[in-house]
Structure 1
Amino acid sequence: MKNTINKLLVNHSLFYKALLYVATVILVVYLFPKSGHFKYEFQKGKPWQYENYYAPFDFAIQKTQEEIDKEILETKEFSKQYFYYNEDIVANVKATINELVEEVVSASDLSKVEKNTLIEKSNQIIEKVYEFGYLESSSEQKNEQTIITLRKGNKIQEIQLHKIFLSNQLLDFIQAEIGKEPFNETEITVINIIHKELKPNVSFDESFTQKVLNENLSKISYTKGLVSENERIIFKGDIVEGKKFMILTSLKNEFESQVWSKSNYNWIVTGYTLLVALSFLMIFLFLRKYRLDIFENNTKVSFIFFNIILIILLITFIVKYDAKYVYIAPIVILPLVHKAFFDARLGLFTHVLTVLLLGFIVPNSFEFIFLQIIAGIVTILTISELYKRANLFISVLQITFVYFVAYFAFSIIQEGNAQNLNYEKFVYFVLNGAATLFVLPLIYIFERLFGLVSDESLKELSNTNSKLLRELAEKAPGTFQHSLQVANLCEACANEIHANAMLVRTGALYHDIGKMLNPMYFTENQTTTVNPHSDLTPKDSAQIIIDHIINGVELAKKNHIPDRIIDFIRTHHGTTLVYYFYKKEEQFVGGKVELNDFQYPGPIPFSKETAILMMCDSVEAASKSLKTPSSQSIDELVDKIVNKQMEDGQFMNADITFKELQTIKKVLKKKLKNIYHLRIEYPE
């Protein structure tokens, strides 16, 4: 048990990667749809390129979405509208009006015949108004010729809407029924009573109408015909169109929507697991072979896997909601983020693998995979300096344009013309581009979550007005000027060999911040003839010089400087000797000197950028010792220093070629000559 625990502690990094690998595979497989997949790809209007195909089982031919939508629209249009006739209102209104009219008529000066006639007309008006009912004008449905269904008690009657009285028709009808103008005083009073007391008794029965509509919609058939098992569907070479296209589409949908048995389900999950496991294994193998520094850093590996899972989650949610919005998702953010924190090759590699996995989720997978891979390549090729917002904006425009062109090409291939383009997708591509601009705040969030550093952060760190660099300029002005010169040299060299210029410049600005603690022990800060090293032994002096590495690392960590910049502080002297005090100690003791006492702790540079800083730092410092700088002396100085570093094996772990070293030496020679304003000597 103890041995097992010890092995886990020793190999905890590999154990974490294995755990991360298994957890990621399980999560991705869980997100994948568990339906089957039709194993053939086909396009409308194109030949069937496979063998003669026969139906593997009985299935129904599905109607197209356009046909279904048309039937739904027709059902809604011709569905009956139901109105409710309230008989209680009629009874109450009759009683009220009769009582009021009789009271008015009885008190009038009219003759008995006239009184009876007026009461009779009043009753006739009520009967006619409530024969089919009285409906408020605001409740009118469609036009007056519309056939409606009137529910009156237990009876249902279909009538035209114009037979029902509306409030705006009521007054004219009452006046016409009472008689001709001019009306006497009693008639006017009766007209007002009837008009006032008549109440609407017909109302639109929305719930019942909707219930009937839902029943009618549920009766719509989504299929039209049946294909029997072993029935021939298509011959090899036949054009996929018309009924054949509908049958193949129906069969494909049947495969993707089947409720699988437990045995089939297990096989599908096994297949998904193998493919997903293989894909993520490729990422580990890529990192192990080409980016070992990332592979050994669990935080960076976790970050890569986190981004891939984030994209898969996003697409899964969109597909479950509505697959037509899948092109709104800014998938190109994945290579953008990985390029910002690592490099373009890793960004493109992870993007391609992620898109291939997404092919199992999205509909029309071939089109999706092609468009997204092309967009990813354009993203990697066009965005060189992410911290420049103009570059990002221009690149997003180019990516959106590529989406337009690729989708247009696919559409005319599939449809055979440009008339059936889905212009809605062009809007989705524009929204995709707008969402891609969110990458900058997203990078900032990732920096805080994972402790990584991007070009945007490097830009902020390289500002000489930042707290730490301003403090360096105040406490050690000579060192600050030296750092600025080294930063300029590093940037020029990095640009020449296509290294990360922003990274190496930032690293150069911070590489000597440890000298702030004892600035006067470094010659560039000494303004008088008094040298504090005169009172120390060579060994003590060497230790103070060496300590500026350790002090710099501690100071950087205290000020939350990223590890990528601290690496420059650690490696800019590698494992070289403090040569001046080493030789002085030899003279002092007159014998063999312990190398460890005069050797920097290292490590040696492990990237192009850290190697560039070592060369530029040494050359710039040594150039100050030239009493009479000349073109020849500068050339000899650069060759001597760089060649010595190469002989000492300082660049063994740096991914830098001999050709690149020669290029760097040429740049250093040229820049130093410009610094010292050397000119060609003309003959007198």
Structure 2
Amino acid sequence: MKSENQKIKNKKQIQKKQSPLLEKVKNYKFLHIILYGILGVILFVALYSNVKPETLDIELFSTSPETIYAPTTVVDNEETARREKEASNSVEDQFVLRKEVSESRVALISSIFDTIIDVRNKDDLNNSEESDMTTPEEKVEMLREQLTDSINEKISSETFLPLMQATDEEMMLAKDTVVTAVNNTMSQEISVVQLSEAKKQVEDEIRNTSLNSDVLAAAVTLARFSITPNYSLDLEATNQKRQQAMDEVKEVQIKQGQMIVEEGELISNEVYRKLGLVGLLDDQHSYKPFIGLGLFVFLIVTGVVYYFEKKDNLISSKNNSLLLYCLIFAISILLMKIVSLFQKIDYNHIGYIVPVAMGAMLVKLLLNERLAILTSMIFAICGSIIFNEGITGSFNFSIGVYYLFGCLAGVLFLGNHNLRSKILHAGLFVALMNVFVLSAILLIRNGSYSNVEIGSYLIMATASGLVASVLTIGFMPFFETGFGILSTMRLIELSNPNHPLLRKILTETPGTYHHSVMVANLSESACEAIGANGLLARVGAYYHDIGKTKRPQYFIENQMNIENPHNKLSAQLSKNIIIAHVTDGVDMLKKHKMPKEFIDIAEQHHGTSLLKYFYHQAKQSNDNIYEEEFRYPGPTPQTKEIAIISIADSVEAAVRSMSNPTPEKIEKLVRSIIADRLQDHQLDECDLTLKELDIIAKSFCESLKGIFHSRIEYPEINKKQKVK
């Protein structure tokens, strides 16, 4: 393995060629955390005024200066409780017929008569044995001793006296009459209110019998005593009914958009209470919207963090991309906020003209398509909040849907078109999508719109798409230059054969040009096989040997029908000329302000490898030659793409020099070159794994087999055949 000192030396060598301040900023360890915080602050500040609760300076018993609608849906607990109370009070008391009461009263009156009969029979038995007769009064006293206190309190002795004096037939008749009458009456529902009527009913029934007056009066008294209410209040059932009635009362809500008071109406106590309930009074401060906005911003920033942090990128690359993203995001949000100011002049639909697709297209072209789709959704949500003026809710879903479809249209259209000229076409496609979506929204609303309104809507939708493409084209060069972004579109433009440097290679060093094209083909297929940037490798390979145009005749691929100049030079001088094509190429690329990635490819594609031919040649004449003198200055390849170009460069030159290449020879040569690079520590800093190197070798072999395939050997035509 290469020593740590050499690795540190390479890194310092690379950093020296960059701006110290810019490099320091890009490599600041906590810059990405600061940028996430800035992104969250931008979002919170931009959306703060749009979620801030609206308040009204209205006094009680004044007149309303405008028609006021509820900005949100709230539950009116006070009104709900009032309706529940009304429903509970409307439920009547629930009564129940208690049969056990009726049965007990019938049993009671029957028991009283049985006790009277027992006393009478006992007294008759005693009278037959003794000479003294028991008087009726004494019998009554004997009876009262056997009855309960409650009966004695309510029925006097005079009531029992006629029954003691009555005959057995009258006694049995009285008993049957009273028991029957009480049973009939108690079988009916008797409430407290109906008690007097029930006693009158039982009395009337008894008076229809043939009993004598004294016995009849006693029977009536006993019957009236037996009648008691049997239809009483069922408290449990009543409470259950009332609770059921309360449960059936629907929760009273003040709906979002519901009119609370019309313009010019009096602000009564009830209206004032509702205004306070929906949070429209200036003496109420609610922090809920700001807490919700904070959570919303946290969710968005978390999504961005997840995207940038899941990639195992260098800290400088991450900071650079994140800074670019924050700048694009801030510009897009600022455009929304500026346009939203026109809502104050009572034009609530001005949001349809915002070129929000610009931000999504810039993110797609300069960063990544997946991030652009995520950004499209974020812009849609933010736009629905920023343009909520005149909307009863916090979100304007119509403009949110409009922004989402417009942004996605631009991103998806550019997915297969990476030429700068296609950005305008993308703008036209966005405009078409805007018109289509806006038309759908207007039709779904089923509103009545004038021709002027419809025309203004369509003009804004069209202008939004076209302005988005124009702004995208305008911002692209600034972002590419300022952040050193080598976009796909820029790569395709640099691959144009009419580029001055490519034309220089083609016209001055045709052999080098052909070699570069072959290396580009090999590199692109290998990079795509392992998931690296194949387009960067292809276009970078076109320029990797641009330094050879300074002294083209000293490189074998350009030596056509001329003597090799190195035959007349010393090994030391030849070595210097060959190595110089690296530094010459770097200088030429910097002079033409080519992307840093191309400069790195030209500088690192030979790494610190050894010029073996000239080294051995010099060794033959002088044993005091050191190997380090015949090595390229480096550094070694720092990325996978550069490492692949480095290997492809050697592979192409080696295979081209073979006299009769076969698939077996090609594969053996490819793997030997890769093994030699590994042993020479040329691949230590490019993060290529052994598995990826195996895939690269297979890719090279497949490509080279297609190039150097066997051909049919045609027989020579002899002179006779030519004559014929």
TM-score tier after normalising by the smaller chain length:
0.5 to 0.7
* Deviating more after overlay: 612-621 vs 495-504: 495-504
**One-letter amino acid matched to 1:306:** L
Distance 1:229 1:249, change over 3 A: closer
Cα offsets for 1:12-36 (capped at 9, x unmatched): 7347666656555545443333354
- Aligned 8 A contact 1:35 1:255 in 2: no
Partner residue, 1:292: 313
- Aligned 8 A contact 1:575 1:604 in 2: no
Residue 359 of structure 1 and its aligned partner are, at CA, apart by: 5.2
**One-letter amino acid matched to 2:28:** S
Residue 548 of structure 1 and its aligned partner are, at CA, apart by: 2.4
Partner residue, 2:419: 388
Residue 554 of structure 1 and its aligned partner are, at CA, apart by: 1.9
- Aligned 8 A contact 1:533 1:541 in 2: no
- Aligned 8 A contact 1:36 1:258 in 2: no
Residue 312 of structure 1 and its aligned partner are, at CA, apart by: 0.6
Q: Whose radius of gyration is greater, 1 or 2?
A: 2
Equivalent of 1:344 in 345, 361, 369: 369
1:33 paired to 2:48: yes
Partner residue, 2:323: 302
Partner residue, 1:246: 257
- Aligned 8 A contact 1:396 1:433 in 2: yes
Partner residue, 1:553: 586
1:635 paired to 2:650: no
Cα offsets for 1:305-337 (capped at 9, x unmatched): 110100110111222213523233233332322
Partner residue, 2:205: none
- Aligned 8 A contact 1:36 1:257 in 2: no
**One-letter amino acid matched to 1:247:** Q
Q: Percent identity?
A: 27
**One-letter amino acid matched to 1:636:** K
Equivalent of 2:516 in 480, 483, 486: 483
- Aligned 8 A contact 1:35 1:258 in 2: no
- Aligned 8 A contact 2:519 2:652 in 1: yes
Paired with 1:22 and 1:492, the residues of 2 have a C-alpha distance of: 41
TM-score normalised by L of structure 2:
0.55
Consecutive unaligned residues in structure 2, runs of 5 or more: 1-20, 84-246, 262-270, 389-394, 715-724
Partner residue, 1:564: 597
Equivalent of 2:631 in 598, 610, 613: 598
Residue 577 of structure 1 and its aligned partner are, at CA, apart by: 3.3
1:331 paired to 2:356: yes
Question: 1:517-528 to 2 correspondence within 5 Å?
Answer: 517-527=550-560, 528=562
Distance 1:406 1:530, change over 3 A: closer
1:610 paired to 2:642: yes
Give the 3-state SS of the residue equivalent to 2:48 in structure 1.
Answer: coil
- Aligned 8 A contact 1:574 1:650 in 2: yes
Paired with 1:500 and 1:249, the residues of 2 have a C-alpha distance of: 62
Distance 1:259 1:459, change over 3 A: farther
Distance 1:498 1:476, change over 3 A: same
1:536 paired to 2:590: no
Distance 1:497 1:17, change over 3 A: closer
Cα offsets for 1:95-146 (capped at 9, x unmatched): xxxxxxxxxxxxxxxxxxxxxxxxxxxxxxxxxxxxxxxxxxxxxxxxxxxx
Partner residue, 1:13: 28
Paired with 2:592 and 2:706, the residues of 1 have a C-alpha distance of: 35
Partner residue, 1:222: 67
1:313 paired to 2:347: no
Partner residue, 2:209: none
Give the 3-state SS of the residue equivalent to 1:387 in structure 2.
Answer: coil
Residue 469 of structure 1 and its aligned partner are, at CA, apart by: 2.9
TM-score normalised by L of structure 1:
0.58
Give the 3-state SS of the residue equivalent to 2:593 in structure 1.
Answer: coil
Distance 1:228 1:624, change over 3 A: closer
Paired with 2:364 and 2:50, the residues of 1 have a C-alpha distance of: 35
**One-letter amino acid matched to 1:571:** Q
Partner residue, 1:83: none
Question: 1:105-120 to 2 correspondence within 5 Å?
Answer: none
Paired with 1:238 and 1:248, the residues of 2 have a C-alpha distance of: 22
Query: RMSD of aligned C-alpha atoms?
Result: 5.4
Paired with 1:407 and 1:515, the residues of 2 have a C-alpha distance of: 58
Distance 1:285 1:219, change over 3 A: closer
* Deviating more after overlay: 455-464 vs 293-302: 293-302
**One-letter amino acid matched to 1:531:** P
Distance 1:521 1:34, change over 3 A: same
Consecutive unaligned residues in structure 1, runs of 5 or more: 1-5, 40-55, 61-217
Paired with 1:477 and 1:356, the residues of 2 have a C-alpha distance of: 55
Distance 1:37 1:575, change over 3 A: farther
Distance 1:368 1:303, change over 3 A: same
Cα offsets for 1:234-255 (capped at 9, x unmatched): 9999999998453299999999
Give the 3-state SS of the residue equivalent to 1:33 in structure 2.
Answer: helix
Residue 568 of structure 1 and its aligned partner are, at CA, apart by: 1.9
**One-letter amino acid matched to 1:309:** A
**One-letter amino acid matched to 1:434:** L
Cα offsets for 1:231-290 (capped at 9, x unmatched): 55899999999984532999999999968789767x876875676477557646643541
**One-letter amino acid matched to 1:290:** K
* Deviating more after overlay: 368-377 vs 624-633: 368-377
Paired with 2:524 and 2:311, the residues of 1 have a C-alpha distance of: 25
Cα offsets for 1:40-81 (capped at 9, x unmatched): xxxxxxxxxxxxxxxx99999xxxxxxxxxxxxxxxxxxxxx
